[in-house]
Amino acid sequence: MSLRAFAAVLAITTGLWAPAHAVEPVKIGEINSYSRIPAFTLPYRKGWELAVEQINANGGVLGGRPLEIISRDDAGTPEQALTAANELVRREKVVMLAGTYLSNVGLAVADYAAKKKVVFLASEPLTDAMTWSHGNAYTFRLRPSTYVQSAILAQEAAKLPAKRWVTIAPNYEYGQSAVRNFKTLLKAARPDVEFVGEQWPALFKLDAGPTVEALDQAKPDAIFNVTFSSDLSKFVREGTARGLFANRVVVSLLTGEPDYLVPLGAETPSGWIVTGYPWDTIATPEHTAFVTAYQAKYHEDPRMGTLVGYNMGLALKAVIDRAGSTNAKDLMQAFKDLRFDSPSGPITFRACDHQSTMGSWIGRTALMNGQGRMVDWRYVDGGDVLPDAAVVKKLRPAP
């Protein structure tokens, strides 16, 4: 057979294997601090990967188009996040942006989204500014905000006999908001409490010895802690060694998440009142199915990041299908009062502030078989503690 004849046959047979027409994927640009905060963000990535796999196995979005997430690492800096966002929008032609972890990074991407008129689903950053003081028409947030988690903890703290409180939080927007909310809400419920000391370590640069000593010298009855990741481990280790927690109540944001309990291991303090994720004792059918699928795919247990990433994938499908297109205006409208089911229960994106009603679990820490666990927990829906539309109108800038 001549070379020309062979080429002709090859072209015909290749055509038989090719699809009648290529189905264009719906591209989402995702940005996160994978290299800076891997304990949370790597399980989070696996969560949205699982969701995308399941979505595409069941027909994708918009009646048959595959969902594709193109991911970039921001290294925990606003500058790199903005570079990534610009590349994703201009070069990759994504129809939406999603992700981010640190609050300052999320706010930077939200500002970019508003300027470039591209919809942004902030999956993780907790700052209240995201949906209130710096809220914009293009930005929506999935995870329960700093306000939601602080409000849940303040309700529990108000039941305690403790009157003298100290606080410790990372010195950036998330930590500042958490402390401000907790103080305001606790004092509203218990006017007799007083805050007698506070510490503001730089993020991931906690000097544990002097910080613990300063808190102890204030002679508090109770401690409100907002540190996380490596700062939390340092705080727990030094505070335990110096007796800071002896005969004192500790109320702690995020500490009940396996993302932080697992690294603490046998050093996990017992009896702290925490928000978190008791994945191993949540027995709803939806959550059990999610855990089973995740364990089968990755041969590991889920973390809080896993759930957030998975719910983000579900939210993306829900909003794209409801919009019926990838046009930014259609997506913005579809997000308002969007409701979808998730392993953590039904979630709605409120039209008044673009905040989802994804809730949080509150309980206590316990040390069981050398590992930290969250016990005596209950789930609080975000919609039960968020302010109503009339209050939100005063918090958000006018459209």
- Does pLDDT of 21 surpass 80? no
User: Residue 122 falls within a domain, yes or no?
Assistant: yes
pLDDT in tens, 240-269: 999 999 999 999 999 999 989 999 999 999
Q: Do 178 and 44 fall within a single domain?
A: no
Rounded CA gap, 345 and 330, in Å? Answer: 26
* Contact criterion met (CB below 8 Å) for 360 and 380: yes
- What pLDDT, on the 0 to 100 scale, is given for residue 240? 97
Looking from the CA of 16 toward its CB, the CA atoms found within 13 Å total: 5
- Does pLDDT of 17 surpass 80? no
Q: Do 243 and 117 fall within a single domain?
A: no
**Residue 18: pLDDT band with limits 50, 70, 90:** very low
Mean pLDDT of 294-302: 98
Q: Do 228 and 373 fall within a single domain?
A: yes
Of 32-36, 37-41, 175-179, give the lowest mean pLDDT range: 37-41
**Three-state SS for 40?**
helix
Q: What percent of the chain shows pLDDT beyond 70?
A: 95
User: Residue 6 falls within a domain, yes or no?
Assistant: no
Mean pLDDT of 335-345: 97
Rounded CA gap, 93 and 26, in Å? Answer: 10
Report the Cα 359 to chain-centroid distance in Å. Answer: 11
- Does pLDDT of 110 surpass 70? yes
Residue 265 domain boundaries? 148-282+361-384
- What pLDDT, on the 0 to 100 scale, is given for residue 398? 80
Q: For residue 243, give both structure tokens.
A: 């007796």
CATH number for the domain that contains residue 325:
3.40.50.2300
Residue reference for tokens 């500042």: 176
Q: Do 234 and 377 fall within a single domain?
A: yes
pTM for the whole structure: 0.89
**Three-state SS for 226?**
coil
**Any residues with CB less than 8 A from the CB of 398 and at least 6 apart, and which?**
none
User: Residue 20 falls within a domain, yes or no?
Assistant: no
- Which residue, 219, 220, 227, is CA-closest to 178? 227
Neighbours of 117 (CB within 10 A): 12
**Residue 15: pLDDT band with limits 50, 70, 90:** very low
Q: Do 178 and 114 fall within a single domain?
A: no
- Does pLDDT of 6 surpass 90? no
Mean pLDDT of 79-83: 98
Q: Do 367 and 316 fall within a single domain?
A: no
- What pLDDT, on the 0 to 100 scale, is given for residue 16? 37
Rounded CA gap, 310 and 307, in Å? Answer: 5
Rounded CA gap, 305 and 39, in Å? Answer: 8
User: How many domains is the chain built from?
Assistant: 2
Helix boundaries (H) for 191-326:
208-217, 229-241, 258-264, 285-298, 304-323
Mean pLDDT of 46-58: 98
- Does pLDDT of 104 surpass 60? yes
Q: Do 248 and 376 fall within a single domain?
A: yes
- Does pLDDT of 13 surpass 80? no
- What pLDDT, on the 0 to 100 scale, is given for residue 9? 36
- Does pLDDT of 277 surpass 80? yes
- What pLDDT, on the 0 to 100 scale, is given for residue 85? 98
Q: Do 61 and 140 fall within a single domain?
A: yes
- The β-bridge partners of 32 are 73
- What pLDDT, on the 0 to 100 scale, is given for residue 20? 42
Of 28-42, 109-123, 186-200, give the lowest mean pLDDT range: 28-42
Q: Do 367 and 354 fall within a single domain?
A: no
Mean pLDDT of 85-93: 98
pLDDT in tens, 134-144: 999 999 999 99
- Does pLDDT of 176 surpass 60? yes
Rounded CA gap, 31 and 149, in Å? Answer: 24
- What pLDDT, on the 0 to 100 scale, is given for residue 39? 83
- What pLDDT, on the 0 to 100 scale, is given for residue 4? 43
Q: For residue 73, give both structure tokens.
A: 């690492």
Q: Do 250 and 372 fall within a single domain?
A: yes
For 198, counting Cβ atoms within 10 Å of its Cβ (0-12 exposed, 13-18 middle, 19+ buried), the class is: middle
Q: Do 113 and 86 fall within a single domain?
A: yes
Mean pLDDT of 306-319: 98
- Does pLDDT of 387 surpass 70? yes
Q: Which has more confidence, 37 or 93?
A: 93
User: Residue 100 falls within a domain, yes or no?
Assistant: yes
- Sequence letter at residue 130: M
**Three-state SS for 182?**
helix
Residue reference for tokens 């499908």: 317
User: Residue 16 falls within a domain, yes or no?
Assistant: no
**Residue 216: pLDDT band with limits 50, 70, 90:** very high
User: Residue 115 falls within a domain, yes or no?
Assistant: yes
Mean pLDDT of 162-174: 95
Bridge-based pairing of strands 273-276 and 360-368 is: antiparallel
Mean pLDDT of 123-130: 94
**Residue 2: pLDDT band with limits 50, 70, 90:** very low
Residue reference for tokens 């930014």: 328
- Does pLDDT of 3 surpass 50? no
- What pLDDT, on the 0 to 100 scale, is given for residue 235? 98
Q: Do 199 and 344 fall within a single domain?
A: no
User: Residue 117 falls within a domain, yes or no?
Assistant: yes
Q: What is the mean pLDDT of the chain?
A: 93
User: Residue 310 falls within a domain, yes or no?
Assistant: yes
Rounded CA gap, 391 and 134, in Å? Answer: 15
- What pLDDT, on the 0 to 100 scale, is given for residue 7? 36
